[in-house]
Structure 1
Amino acid sequence: MTECLLKLCSNIPLAVVSGSDFQKVSSQIGTLATEKFSYIFSENGLVVHSYGQKIKSTNIIEHVGEEILQRFINFCLQYMSNLWLPRKRGNFIEFRNGLINVCPVGRSCSQEERDEFAKYDAKHKIREDFVMKMRSEFHSSPLEFAIGGQISIDVFPKGWDKRYCLQFLKDYDTIHFFGDKTKEGGNDYEIFNDPRTIGHTVTSPENTEAQLKALFPEYC
């Protein structure tokens, strides 16, 4: 997958948008890729790197305020304390520049435990129910909630979903977006359905690579 992306970025502009922080994105796609990509939009685009250099950063505290954030964090900790899961580890709430990442199983879980939770969550709708509670409790707040990745929930100010990154791409006539959480409630849904993008649903890194090769055969 990384080899395919490196070949592509030698010929066409590539960008990554993720709810994860820059360090996590870099570990997933490789340091070399982050230095060659036109943009890395971490934390939904609230932190922007171009060819490995940070060019912009926005902080959620300045927009939402300490009182709402503390009330939300306290609510999540209490809710998760009453959940019984196959495993619980550590780092249940991760505070980032542009969003809060809430993880019922804990982000310090192993890959095996991550996969186990993903299967359990698919059956028991742990995150889906949690998001419904968040929306009910904080319906009048400036916060939005979206299921992201295998194990967590992204929380950010309304309007700060992945579409936030599109403001940096106004000079591009055609933007292809590839994401796996493209159904309503997923953190790819809004940008996938935005009229400024051509959306592609993917199911795995292998499937993503196959779609890229089909779309850009001369560059892969």
Structure 2
Amino acid sequence: MQETYHKFWSHCLGREIEMLSFGNWGYPVLLFPTSMGRYYENKDFKLIESARWFIESGKIKIYCIDSIDKDSWYAKHLHPATRIYNHTCYDRMLNEELVPSIRQECNVEKIGVAGCSFGGYHALNFAFKHPDKVAYMFSMGGAFDIKQHLEGHYDDNVFFNNPPDFIPDAQNSHFYDMKVVLGTSEHDFCKGENEWMSQILHRKGINHWLDIRPFANHDWPIWREMFPDYLSKI
């Protein structure tokens, strides 16, 4: 399984950012880490290994981008307005720098995005902010209301990065072309958030799959079962 390390300068972030990619060719999936996770986390916890067949057969190419959660949502030393502003810079890096590069490299119009736990938030938030660039969205154990990280602070940047707030009134024809999976499990403490997001999407007529797996917790073993299953839908 081909593994490539990348480091590139982001003008949007004003810093270098790191990434691993897996595979030589295939449909691109941008995979986010969990809370404050690094670009190598999904490899270390064997999520990449669960997708080995898709990668080695040239069907899928996975890009594991770093997070800046320690400087945004989890940066308790910063004012909440600064935290959310830093996230908007991260979103600009994804939208204006990384994703256009992936689309060009893989010769596709739209990509897939995925993530476990807080990575599921990143995947869903990016997909519904930029649905013209996303064909597949797989969230595994995600939670989507981020207001809890901001001590009551609320502004436009919060609104437009909090999916339960901005999705109900958002209008975009690309929403109805996306393949959306909300993966959770019977004993996942994020199960309620997935059911809530499913209701929001249902009211908008957005087709999706709310996948509630039995007997499992909010942890890597069930996510390693989900991920190859979801990749098989591409």
Sort the TM-score into its range (normalised by shorter chain).
Answer: 0.3 to 0.5
Larger Rg belongs to: 1
TM-score (norm 2): 0.33
Structure ranking higher in strand proportion:
2
